[in-house]
């Protein structure tokens, strides 16, 4: 089955996966979605006998059909290697009746590594396949984790440059330190005076600026994206849902065909959308439990059918979820509208114009697999504290949001289906918040706090954190949140300013 990718906002002809990865965003501002979803051609039992790399190939070959086996296996081999501190890549840990899928064993200790370790390899391969001789400029907005993972993935990759925008006062100290100390002459990091939604909106506006695109083309550049709007980010995430299910199968927790629930801490909606795709490809997923923090725009959407971003933006201890415009939700809206681009575009136009939209009852019925929940800051702290006291297992605030929401769901429904909680970041990335939740003092340097957390959790400080000690700050760029200011920073970095 050949899978191509079409825009969520028009009926333009679909394009191959490699071209969609290079473009990042469709010309009409829509997101690329597969024109059909294939079903796994290996049984779950067969996949249970494979390691992560082989499972990745079996899943991705079905969605990236214009990549040859050799090309795809090379990308996978280069991505999932000793950059990860465990051969399992994504181990499952049981604690307090749930299974935690640890997606933070990569070089930036967050789940974004799962996709951003492979995206540069997919992109360079795609450029070669499509005879691209322009330099690829990766333009990305981050709420904290995507930025560092993308920087680490693309640093010093020949034929690419990368520009990352982040909210100056909206990430954790460790997250910021990881980004501003990033090495690589092809990297640029800029803090904006605004929030993640401002950064994301600015990046989208720059992407769709035709005059800038023509200017860059003349100078030998072309844009692409490492955000989760890029289908090359989404496809690798489907893998770990398949992998998690098959590990439960291999370990005798479930039998083939049994359903498994997944609880996902959710901001931009790409992670949980990958779970939705995994289910449509044949993984027996029961509930997809969408966990929000106090910025509960998604919880309200699943509860009422209205998406409304007209509300206060709240800074929380789980900053990667401090998002009011969940870009990847557009892909789900497209699908529940019957893959109807016109219906989806009308709703997205409403969102741009009014800051909200309401889906039809028929569309709501197609969301029956999803359940929403949210956790307050106090709920988050309690989830960290109680799990450590019961099991000696330390989790970060994002994972704690998911745990809190799952506990609420389990009590409300009595659902005893085996459940995987997607653990999206190491607690060492948010050691101040974690130590506070554990009742520990936090009046020390961030790296000293990491040492303190290491003693309490009885886990070594990850290399991604320990290597920051003494690292020089290389990126000091700051601008306001306007598209014009952000664009000037991009043009300056590329040497094409007027």
- Which positions are catalytic? 112
DSSP, res 355: S
Distance CA 316, CA 293 (A): 8
Which of 490, 496, 491, 425 has the alpha carbon at shortest distance from 112?
425
In a 10 Å sphere around its CB, with 0-12 CB exposed, 13-18 middle and 19+ buried, how is residue 43 labelled?
exposed
Whole-angstrom Cα distance, residue 370 to residue 387?
Answer: 25
**Helices marked H in 17-68:** 17-23, 44-48, 52-63
Q: Residue 122: count other Cβ atoms within 10 Å of its Cβ.
A: 28
CB 279 within 8 A of CB 288: yes
Q: CA-to-CA distance for 73 and 89, rounded, in angstroms?
A: 16
Under 8 Å CB-to-CB from 399, ≥6 apart: which residues? 100, 265, 421, 422, 423, 424, 425
- What is Dmax (Cα atoms) for the chain? 64
Using CB atoms within 10 Å of the CB of residue 134, give its burial: 0 to 12 exposed, 13 to 18 middle, 19+ buried: middle
- Rounded-to-integer distance, Cα 133 and Cα 401, Å: 45
**Cα dihedral across residues 129, 133, 139, 144: positive or negative:** positive
Check: CB of residue 373 under 8 Å from CB of residue 402.
no
Cβ atoms of 330 and 31 closer than 8 Å = yes
CA distances from 332 to 77, 237, 324 (A): 31, 15, 16
Structure token digits, residue 6:
């079409």
103, 424 Cβ separation under 8 angstroms? yes
Distance CA 211, CA 205 (A): 12
> Are residues 80 and 55 in contact, defined by beta-carbon separation less than 8 angstroms?
no
CA quadruple 74, 251, 460, 454: dihedral sign: positive
The CA-to-CA distance between both ends of the chain, in Å, stands at: 48
Nearest to 137 by CA among 122, 159, 113, 117: 159
CA angle 243, 91, 244 (to 5 degrees): 25
């Amino acid at each position: 089955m050949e899978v191509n990718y079409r825009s969520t906002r028009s009926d333009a002809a679909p394009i191959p996966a490699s071209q969609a990865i290079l473009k990042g965003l469709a010309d009409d501002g829509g997101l690329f979605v597969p024109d059909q979803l294939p079903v796994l051609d290996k049984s779950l039992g067969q996949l249970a006998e494979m390691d992560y790399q082989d499972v990745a190939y079996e899943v991705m070959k079905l969605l990236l059909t214009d990549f040859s086996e050799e090309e795809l296996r090379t990308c996978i081999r280069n991505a999932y290697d000793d950059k990860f501190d465990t051969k399992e890549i994504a181990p499952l840990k049981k604690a307090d009746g749930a299974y935690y899928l640890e997606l933070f064993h990569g070089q930036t200790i967050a789940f974004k590594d799962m996709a951003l370790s492979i995206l540069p390899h997919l992109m360079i391969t795609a450029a070669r396949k499509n005879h691209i001789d322009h330099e690829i400029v990766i333009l990305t907005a981050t709420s904290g984790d995507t930025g560092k993972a993308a920087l680490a993935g693309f640093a010093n990759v020949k034929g690419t440059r990368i520009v990352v925008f982040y909210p100056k006062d909206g990430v954790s100290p460790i997250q910021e330190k990881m980004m501003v100390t990033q090495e690589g002459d092809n990297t640029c990091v800029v803090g904006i005076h605004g929030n993640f939604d401002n950064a994301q909106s600015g990046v989208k506006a720059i992407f769709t600026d035709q005059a800038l695109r023509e200017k860059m083309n003349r100078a030998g550049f072309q844009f692409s994206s490492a955000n989760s709007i890029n289908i090359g980010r989404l496809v690798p995430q489907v893998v770990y849902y398949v992998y998690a299910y098959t590990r439960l199968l291999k370990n005798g927790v479930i039998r083939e065909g049994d359903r498994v629930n997944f609880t996902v801490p959710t901001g931009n909606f790409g992670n949980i959308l990958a779970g939705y795709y995994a289910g449509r490809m044949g993984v027996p997923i029961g509930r997809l439990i969408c966990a929000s923090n106090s910025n509960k725009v998604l919880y309200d959407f699943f509860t009422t059918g209205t998406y409304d971003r007209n509300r206060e933006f709240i800074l929380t201890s789980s900053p990667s979820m401090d998002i009011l415009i969940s870009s990847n939700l557009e892909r789900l809206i497209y699908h529940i509208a019957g893959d109807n681009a016109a219906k989806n575009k009308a709703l997205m136009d409403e969102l741009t114009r009014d800051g909200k939209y309401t889906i039809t009852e028929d569309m709501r019925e197609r969301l029956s697999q999803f359940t929403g929940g949210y956790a307050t800051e106090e709920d988050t702290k309690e989830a960290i504290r109680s799990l450590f006291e019961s099991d000696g297992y330390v989790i970060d605030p994002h994972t704690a949001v998911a745990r809190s929401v799952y506990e609420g769901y389990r009590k409300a429904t009595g659902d005893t289906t085996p459940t995987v909680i997607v653990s999206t970041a190491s607690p060492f990335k948010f050691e101040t918040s974690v130590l506070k939740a554990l009742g520990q003092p936090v009046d020390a340097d961030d790296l000293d706090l990491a040492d303190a957390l290491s003693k309490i959790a009885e886990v070594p400080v990850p290399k991604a954190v320990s290597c920051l000690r003494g690292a020089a700050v290389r990126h000091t760029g700051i601008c306001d949140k306007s598209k014009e200011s952000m664009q000037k920073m991009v043009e300056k970095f590329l040497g094409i300013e007027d």
